[in-house]
Structure 1
């Protein structure tokens, strides 16, 4: 009985507090959702995840794959600090398209997991992950999903004078250092955009437990004076730079802009190729020892120069807006089997253009936008 009495008293106090007059002025509106299932039908069936703001800043990593690996249904390939690509619901490679502002990355990242994506997550304003029917907007090639990195290199809104941002980061495991900045300057209807990113990291440090030292003692081996409880993952260092300049005209009913982007990345491929044990291991090791040593020190140099255009016009009548997206890129991926020794070279020069006509809402017919570019 005492338990029921306490609950009744609490309920009575709650009712009285709700009916009491409020004398304080409430300036901020706070919305609390009590159930994670309170979503509209469109949100439930579209399959769109958006990473932006503080959430994007907290999850930001050196590559797109590592940035998104905590999203539901998303994992990533990993070939050291320089190469990582998203895997959506177990599908990767050509079945997952990676876009920059709605246009394909135009690189060779889908050909192999050790090929880096030519996109810089440090400059992203938001990253969209699309699954299901929503990905048909970007073509049929990305059957597994689409990742759209939106970085604002072509401004679509007039800033209030000067708008800028700076990011500085460091990591201890690989002595990594990072600096990124962006700037938008408006003069009348013209907006200038500038951004740049620099990232560099050394080989990863791998901690070794005390059992390894004990194991050396059990095997009767001497412990060197410079023995360290941590080891480095050879050939896992990475370095990248990105520079972008963009210019936009933003009017009342129309806007148009273009941007030039330069991306360079140099990174190592750790590990090399393991050789299976067999009867002729000794002969094989003698004949190919030098080749295996070179394979373990394979490095990759990636270089891409890209030009993007984006525009939109508002129209009266049946069509509300016509949007234009376009991109051209000159891409080179060089694999070095040793210092200055060029092995394989991938080149890709391509362009992509997409035009969209958005229907005005009329007689119940309307276009619903989910995960679209502003």
Structure 2
């Protein structure tokens, strides 16, 4: 573990070394050093600038200023990248069919510490509109940052900590930029500004900020309780403020920054009734007294035989005609998220500290993240008369659930060039992240024994102490990347070892109180207590990769990449238990998940010419223990899900071809596709099937155990008999005379075992795989001031959908008017009367989505006024006003923005 004194010592060394001047060193050394370090530009995810593959991508600031303020939508125009949007407030990138924890998102080369990987409705706390560029890194360099991002690493690069003195603009040692933007559809008003200025010869300061306000956006069609032309809950507000200060010297810099971000945005498409009832955990009689307090400790044995959920409070069932299952209340706000995050960064670089080292780089980050989810439609305190009777039309909302995360991330990197052919980087990373999620409507913990007793009385089986039990995720990583050049062949090799531990703080008092209650004579039990395993989840992961680059000519490059990636399950996948308002689902973690492994292959080719440019990539990933969120039940658009794992294969193609008509006009054809398959799950093994007993009356109580199946141990005539062969035996109660006089009575014929009930769970398509798309783009420069562009793309329908096969175990139903233990009532109302004791399959099918066309056009005017560069821009998106439904979204029935026009002004000085 990295201690505070060590951190302080490292920072002191960087500060003193950066301040030290190098007058005694020859200028030629510094010149060579600068040339060497051009490939390792500060904050870049591309360690070696001259080794980009066809699939590596950099999105410039010029492009970002015309795109969405949310990361997923901002990157969705790039090859292989789609968005998982959530109204107007949040979106996350889906890269080659992968999202969440499989897509590492960085800010200036270090982790973005937020909860965006837990759910798509959680905003990514990195600002593309304040960024200098966004990098999509693939291949061997990804292991510098993660063991598990085979699809790619996203690095949002900004200048919050200056690494050099300002170049100078209108004022000496000062430069800056600002942008104003307005969108006609959502009435979005956005302003960003940033300025760098120098203080003296060595102090550089960066100040930047962002403010965004948008109303609910308009859509061609939204089917709620009635047809709407807007999306309720798609409004958003964002405010960002950042300040950074650096000391810059000849041999490097050391600096720090502070950033504050606040977001308030709606949760569209939610289903209110998902907060009412589910039947998933059945722990009564198991002896596992601790599950009501810590439900994440459940195992497969605790899952209800017939897991399901349903709406209450007179809501309609979600359906095609009403996907949310509830009337929209137009008198008050939709549920929304209030988010606040504070981030502190310290970064330093020391150039050429000793012989053999080009640079030492230090990064320290601390972030404190908080958001609560408010729902003004819910009465928060039913015991408070004033609260229960209040008018919801003026309800400002109060938190229904709270998510928190506090994290520290530290990296120390060493860059070296031992020979002219070999260079590389190696380092160490340590991070700790403490997170939790809890519902406010239910207690987040038992405050006393009386509270526990009350919870039992109020139906403990529905009690959820935490959505995500408080946990501290600690990881220590060692990583390295080396590059060797041999003529026109470049070899890269990388490796990363990660050791992770996730301790949870348990309350001995609560566990003891639950155990005492379990033993209470007033509540006698026939079951022996089973004590929990409270040891922390610990895993190691080791990933390695190699890339070969072949420059066939000075215009052609062929690349081959292979990686073996291992991923440790996240706390969300292990421990989450309960409702998830934003995705209209109940979700359950699985503490028995094991390490995910994959072998990944990629081939790419790129060509740059006078008339034609092209690049294409193909990839294939073969997974063991692929972790996915399995759909257990689907009721309309209300889901019950649990994390599971099996084998998987993800593969696809992406590419583009550009024709340069002349230096001012180019035409590009582009497209991508991805396919995903997950393997068969282990079959569910049920009861043994037997022939019926020829001696016992099958209509008797004794005979019921043999009705086309059953368990011999439950047959009273066989309680004292072996259940294994021989299948014919003598009744031990018969004498020799009885056997001689009545052989039919004394000879017992055991039922023969016919088969074992087994339900296969076949392979299927992977969940939420993006559809294929094909498009065309024109870019033209009309003169030195005017430019224009047009893009048309067709996104195909997605009919290759994920289908879960869920085993419903056999159950008997008690006829009306009978008690289950009433011997006079015959319990013959079987779920499946044709095969009453056989398990039944339940198919849960993912929604299909229709294809659509997307047409966007833009015009820019660039000019200068008194040494100030300015650009006026006009963008018209979705000009055809198409109905756009995103298949890879958790809410595929929620439409995206209709026709919209954006007017912008950007100035730079």
TM-score by length of 1: 0.75
Aligned to 1:177: 189
Residue 132 of structure 1 and its aligned partner are, at CA, apart by: 2.1
Aligned to 1:270: 268
Aligned to 2:533: none
Residue 337 of structure 1 and its aligned partner are, at CA, apart by: 1.7
Structure 1 pair 41–181 and aligned structure 2 pair: CA distance change class (3 A): closer
Aligned to 2:517: none
Question: Structure 1, unaligned stretches of length 5 or more?
Answer: 1-39, 217-228, 277-282
Match of 1:120 among 127, 131, 155: 127
- Aligned partners of 2:160 and 2:311: how far apart in 1? 52
Which of structures 1 and 2 has the larger relative contact order (alpha carbons within 8 angstroms, sep 6+)? 1
Aligned to 2:231: 233
- Aligned partners of 2:420 and 2:247: how far apart in 1? 34
- CA deviations over 1:210-238 (Å, ceiling 9, x no partner): xx9xxx9xxxxxxxxxxxx9822111100
Contact 1:272 1:297 in 2 (8 A): no
Aligned to 2:369: 331
Match of 2:104 among 81, 94, 97: 97
1:132 to 2:139 alignment? yes
Aligned to 1:366: 423
Match of 1:65 among 72, 75, 78: 72
Match of 2:58 among 50, 55, 64: 50
Match of 2:155 among 132, 135, 148: 148
SS of the residue 2:53 aligns to: helix
Residue 284 of structure 1 and its aligned partner are, at CA, apart by: 5.1
Aligned to 1:206: 219
1:357 to 2:414 alignment? yes
SS of the residue 2:375 aligns to: strand
Structure 1 pair 111–257 and aligned structure 2 pair: CA distance change class (3 A): same
- Aligned partners of 1:96 and 1:86: how far apart in 2? 8
The RMSD of aligned alpha carbons is 3.0
Aligned to 2:608: none
Contact 1:73 1:88 in 2 (8 A): yes
- Aligned partners of 2:423 and 2:230: how far apart in 1? 57
Contact 2:344 2:365 in 1 (8 A): yes
Question: Structure 2, unaligned stretches of length 5 or more?
Answer: 1-48, 275-309, 317-324, 377-395, 425-481, 484-491, 493-909
- Aligned partners of 2:403 and 2:112: how far apart in 1? 15
Aligned to 1:312: 349
Structure 1 pair 284–62 and aligned structure 2 pair: CA distance change class (3 A): same
More strand by share: 2
SS of the residue 2:422 aligns to: coil
- Aligned partners of 2:255 and 2:326: how far apart in 1? 49
Structure 1 pair 320–297 and aligned structure 2 pair: CA distance change class (3 A): same
1:248 to 2:253 alignment? no
- Aligned partners of 1:332 and 1:294: how far apart in 2? 28
SS of the residue 2:233 aligns to: coil
- Aligned partners of 2:313 and 2:373: how far apart in 1? 25
- Aligned partners of 1:163 and 1:155: how far apart in 2? 12
Contact 2:108 2:156 in 1 (8 A): yes
Q: Which has the larger radius of gyration?
A: 2
Contact 2:61 2:133 in 1 (8 A): yes
SS of the residue 2:242 aligns to: strand
Structure 1 pair 332–292 and aligned structure 2 pair: CA distance change class (3 A): farther
1:303 to 2:340 alignment? yes
Contact 1:272 1:292 in 2 (8 A): no
Out of 296-305 and 237-246, give the one that drifted further. 296-305
SS of the residue 1:309 aligns to: strand
Structure 1 pair 342–294 and aligned structure 2 pair: CA distance change class (3 A): farther
- CA deviations over 1:99-157 (Å, ceiling 9, x no partner): 11111111000001111111111100011111222211113143432111111000011
Q: Equivalences for 1:8-87 in 2 at 5 Å?
A: 42-44=51-53, 47-58=55-66, 60-87=67-94
Residue 274 of structure 1 and its aligned partner are, at CA, apart by: 8.4
- CA deviations over 1:43-69 (Å, ceiling 9, x no partner): 237x421111423333x2120111100
Aligned to 1:33: none
- CA deviations over 1:182-216 (Å, ceiling 9, x no partner): 0101121100110010001001112369xx9xxx9
Contact 1:48 1:134 in 2 (8 A): no
Contact 2:241 2:260 in 1 (8 A): yes
